[in-house]
Structure 1
Amino acid sequence: MNDDKLTQDQAQEKEAEAAAAEQQEQQETAGQEQQEPAAEIDWQQEAERWKAQAEENQNRMLRALADMENLRRRTRKEQEDLAKYASLKIIAELLPVLDNFERALAADKDSMTVESLLEGVNMVYRQMVQIFEREGLTPIQAAGQPFDPNVHQAVMQAEDPAYESGVVVEELQKGYLFKDRVIRPAMVKVNA
């Protein structure tokens, strides 16, 4: 009888364990069923959030591209204006020289002497030289200097014992530097 009781007890325990296991499995299955819709909602929300972020990024990119295009247009316009009006400052500075020439031409021809004409021309020349110097124009030193092909253009040769070989004997036309750039080399006669 003890054996029967043990077997009945064991059978009841096994049934209880099986029932508990089944109940636990049902709870887990129910929990998964409840979690799955929540997981779907999270993925949908996540997808919508990423879609909104993508749209925002695309809008930012389009605005940045539009800004770049506007900057390109504005820069091009500024460069065109700069090139168009680059000589404005020098022209404005040369206007007083033009005024002096007009005054000289309007002067009474009968009372004008050669000396007064020469004085007027000299005054206008000095005025122009001052303007050019302020802008950075300087004459190239030539006579008595060693020949430099970077700033001198040899057009004649001389044989003068007073000068060493390769020295500029005479300047035939002035050359000029604008700041650090040669805009016209000096035309010179060089000793052989």
Structure 2
Amino acid sequence: MSEENGAQNPNQNTPPADAPSELQKLQEQADKFKNDYLYLRAEFENYKRNAIKERSDLIKYGGERFIRDLLEIVDNFERATAVQVTPENLPTYKQGVEMTATELKNLLQKNSVTEVPAEGAPFDPAVHEALGAEPSDKVQPGHVLRVFKKPYKYHDKVLRTGQVVVAKKPE
């Protein structure tokens, strides 16, 4: 009869009094994790966007320092072409052009561009392009006899193959 009077049965499954607060804690924790995830996702998107921009700028403007140094050498060459060469100033003019050429070679070396020694070296198709072969006693057969264009490397990569004539056995 107590059930009919509206009294509750103590054996009935009812949540404990602190259950809503436990559920609320879990919901808050889930919301916190969701916010952390969204924040990290946004941060990663910003990072990707910035990395792409940096890479693009590096490709676009990466040679700026080299170009600035090169322009100094170009100025020297322009001054040399403006000089009226006479027999009296020819030795000085030649010395000035040689100094400018040395500056250019130093700039290349400073930027990891190096000449690959070719004359007398064994022919290497990865570094040399054979324009022909000539009989010679000066160097061994299969070695570089003459160089038309010097080979260059940028760090460890061949930047330009050298154009060479390869020695062969005299007949």
TM-score by length of 1: 0.74
Q: Kindly tell me the number of residue pairs found equivalent between the two proteins.
A: 160
Structure 1 counterpart of 2:91: 115
Mapped to 1, the partners of 2:70 and 2:39 lie a distance apart of 47
Q: Does the CA-based 8 Å contact 2:127-2:158 persist in structure 1?
A: yes
Root mean square deviation, CA, Å: 2.3
TM-score by length of 2: 0.82
What is the CA-CA distance between 1:98 and the residue it aligns to? 2.2
Structure 1 counterpart of 2:76: 100
**Is the alpha carbon distance of 1:155 and 1:116 closer, same or farther for their aligned partners in structure 2, counting shifts above 3 Å?**
same
**Is the alpha carbon distance of 1:165 and 1:98 closer, same or farther for their aligned partners in structure 2, counting shifts above 3 Å?**
closer
Which of the pair has more CA radius of gyration? 1
Structure 1 counterpart of 2:157: 181
Matched, 1:126 2:106: no
Q: Does the CA-based 8 Å contact 2:70-2:107 persist in structure 1?
A: yes
Structure having the larger proportion of residues in helix? 1
In the alignment, structure 1 segments of 5+ residues that lack a partner are 1-28
Instruction: String of CA shifts for 1:68-123, please: whole Å, max 9, x gaps.
Output: 0011111111111111111011112123212223333444x387733333222112
Mapped to 2, the partners of 1:168 and 1:180 lie a distance apart of 21
**Is the alpha carbon distance of 1:71 and 1:185 closer, same or farther for their aligned partners in structure 2, counting shifts above 3 Å?**
same
In the alignment, structure 2 segments of 5+ residues that lack a partner are 1-7
Mapped to 2, the partners of 1:161 and 1:104 lie a distance apart of 41
Mapped to 1, the partners of 2:69 and 2:132 lie a distance apart of 37
Question: % of aligned pairs identical?
Answer: 30
